[in-house]
A and B are shown apart, each in its own frame.
Chain A
Amino acid sequence: MHKYRWGVNPYDIEKWINDMALQGWHLQKFTWTRFTFERGEKGSYIYRHDEIERLAAPYEDDYLEFLQAAGIELVDRSGNIVFFRKSASEGPFELYTDKKTKISNLSKKMTLLLSLLLLNLVFGITGLSGDFSGPATDWLGLTVNIANVLIVLLLIIPFFRLVRLRKQLKRDLDVFTD
């Protein structure tokens, strides 16, 4: 079964994939927007995502062997996002149990989103004002610039959810150790 979803916030996607697993649909492969599931036992696996810093960087063999020894399977990778899973019968499963790694992953994601947001905003706004300045309306330019503004609107909510998540983690760190 294929499902389409706008994959901006990996934590939301992870939650959704785990909800699907509870209903017996297990992630098989994915791209940024397209997710393929196969039928399986309900709730038999827990899924977690990981983000690799550089887009093309492979995992180190040591790390993959370590994960395998811990009963963790690599499901699929798309860009710098990777999904792993572990049998739910072996108890709770988290890849990162420290808040600092979570915070730094969130910060990287936020920087990327913010630059995309600002870029589209600037192109959209300056473009739109240019589209109407000539004697005839530039329809192609108008379409592109409206798309710019739409992208801004699509990214803004996921961005603020990440901001909120990071703030919460930082507040915990003020009181509790990692």
Chain B
Amino acid sequence: MSAISIRGLTHAYQKHFWQKRRKALSNLSLEVAEGEVFGFLGANGAGKTTTIKILVGLQSQTAGEADIFGNPVGSLECRRRTGFMPENPYFYEYLTAAESLAFYGALCDLPVKDCAEQADKLLEFVGLADAKDMRLKEFSKGMRQRLGIAQAIVHRPKLIILDEPMSGLDPVGRRQVREAILNLRSQGATIFFSSHILSDVEMICDRAALLDRGELLSVGGMDELLDAREREFEVGVSGLTAGEMAKLSEKAARSVSDERGTLFVFKERGDADAAAKLAVERDGLVSFGRIRESLEDYFMRTTGRSRSETEQAHADIRQ
């Protein structure tokens, strides 16, 4: 059985009755298998949060169906099996971390005596054991994010839905969240999360889906999505003569130099091999590597956005 099954999900909304209805989501169909880490990608306004809100029962669809472990979304049974962390989670500021988790535990039908114990365990799990008695208004963004994960898993759900769990975190915080996600997967949970941070998705997801303007552009494993072919080859050299360097430069697509040497990027494998061979003979090979398509390249390629287009969009926003 799929953890999440979405069939033809559509959501249209109207801010005011005199305005036209706009589609936030259009005929989305998707399956997420049990036990996988699934990344849900898309730019702002792509429909990621709308999909997530429908899955957790905060929003309703205009058309289509969605099930979680065979239960229609929004049902109590569905919410019993799902843990959810919203984007930038907010909590009751005057409660302590332990009180907050005990409260969420009680809402999930955990026996009262187990709530405090479970709260302690979870605070340990997300690295907030020292902040147990601290009021949440004193929490930093990273701490709130980690508490957000803790409240999502307080009832040991089989499916965990995280909306932008890495948003606004520093590299240490992102690493902690990544580790928490992988930990949860190793315990058998299915994780469905949306993110803007493509490198994180690339690192931890088994599969991902790309959404743009409410429509699903592609879905698949990382290897299926990314062009598996090596696109370019890079060779780092040092100690070559000026003539040899000039010869390599002729064949290279581009190069960059610093005090440690020069890095040549070749389009053809044969040129890269020849450069590497020459550098080995002169005892000057610093590095040799293949460049594959990154998720960011894929994102730009699939959504049809070029760097200049993105920069133009940013300039428009600034104006």
Please indicate whether A and B come from the same complex rather than being unrelated chains: no
Please list the residues of chain A having a beta carbon within 8 angstroms of any beta carbon in chain B: none
